């Protein structure tokens, strides 16, 4: 079954808006796990505008599911990852001025940077995933530099699906099959929500994990955190049943 990793950055954004510690990211993380999520994701950025580097350290002992840290492989970021030792690091190509992830890696152009980061993390027992598009030559390059997984950048699917194009999932299904044939695990994330998640999970093979933050936390404002986490899990559970 596809695992749900909840990105808690938006909880930190709300906390930072007023200072102090409300809402409490650690308490929210504990509850999200108790509601059934199989992982927690954070994406600390250099300006610490939401999750802070200190949060990564504080969260580590509270996460009994899988801990995934996303980020650009700067020296400071890699030092943090090697200190905290999450289960997985997802390397993304975001510069410090990028509001949110908006593209996959050009793995071929950034081979040296990525290979050095992959070797450092895997040397410490940390699984490494690369944020990629559906382009097969980029996925193949990720396999060549010995990434463990890719995370498919799903914004193009989400935008097209919202306009009624259910077939927009097809390139992602093909990319996942190709990644699997290259020996890579497959994650996915960006703009997945309750409207498009079930269709995506039903049609994309070998999908190990989805990382969802903005949409899930937004839904939780209306429906509550517990109900929302369980609703997203239900999307994944029902899609798993439909695949059988």
CATH at residue 93 = 3.20.20.70
Query: What pLDDT was estimated at residue 244?
Result: 47
Query: What is the residue range of 85's domain?
Result: 3-243
Query: What pLDDT was estimated at residue 239?
Result: 73
Question: In the beta sheet, which residues pair with residue 40?
Answer: 6, 67
How does DSSP classify residue 212? Answer: E
Can 50 be counted among the known catalytic residues? Answer: no
**Structural domain total, the chain:** 1
Can 209 be counted among the known catalytic residues? Answer: no
CB neighbour burial string for 180-206, b if at least 16 within 10 angstroms, e if fewer: eebebbbbbbbbbbbebbbbbbbbbee
159, 241, 137: which is closest to 198 by C-alpha?
Answer: 241
Q: Long-range contacts: 76-84, Cβ < 8 Å, 24+?
A: 76/46, 77/44, 78/117, 78/120, 78/121, 80/44, 80/53, 80/56, 81/121, 81/126, 82/120, 82/121, 82/124, 82/126, 83/57, 84/56, 84/57, 84/60
Judge whether 126 and 81 are in contact, CB under 8 Å: yes
Q: How far is CA 9 from CA 55, 74, 177, in A?
A: 10, 19, 30
Query: What pLDDT was estimated at residue 241?
Result: 52
Confidence (pTM): 0.95
Can 190 be counted among the known catalytic residues? Answer: yes
Residue among 66, 151, 190, 209 flagged as catalytic:
190
Residue among 66, 70, 151, 209 flagged as catalytic:
70
pLDDT along the chain (244 residues), means of 10: 98 96 98 99 94 98 98 97 99 72 87 98 98 98 98 98 98 99 99 98 98 98 98 91 55
Query: What pLDDT was estimated at residue 69?
Result: 99
């Amino acid at each position: 079954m596809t695992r749900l990793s909840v990105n808690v950055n938006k909880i930190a954004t709300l906390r930072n808006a007023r200072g102090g510690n409300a809402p409490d990211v650690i308490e929210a993380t504990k509850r999200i796990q108790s509601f059934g999520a199989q992982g927690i994701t954070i994406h600390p950025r250099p300006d610490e505008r939401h999750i802070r580097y200190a949060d990564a350290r504080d969260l580590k002992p509270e996460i009994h599911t899988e801990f995934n840290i996303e980020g650009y492989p700067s020296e400071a970021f890699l030092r943090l990852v090697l200190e905290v030792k999450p289960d997985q690091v997802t390397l993304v190509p975001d510069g410090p001025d990028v509001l949110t992830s908006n593209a996959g890696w050009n793995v071929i152009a950034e081979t040296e940077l990525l290979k050095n980061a992959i070797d450092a993390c895997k040397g410490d027992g940390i699984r490494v995933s690369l944020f990629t598009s559906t382009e097969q030559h980029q996925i193949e390059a990720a396999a060549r530099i010995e990434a463990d997984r890719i995370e498919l950048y799903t914004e193009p699917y989400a935008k097209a699906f919202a306009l009624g194009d259910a077939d927009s999932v097809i390139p992602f299904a093909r990319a996942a099959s190709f990644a699997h044939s290259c020996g890579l695990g497959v994650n996915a994330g960006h703009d997945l929500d309750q409207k498009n998640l079930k269709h995506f999970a039903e049609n994309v093979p070998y999908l190990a994990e989805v990382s969802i933050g903005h949409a899930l936390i937004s839904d939780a404002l209306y429906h509550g955190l517990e109900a929302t986490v369980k609703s997203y899990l239900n999307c994944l559970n029902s899609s798993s049943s439909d695949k059988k």
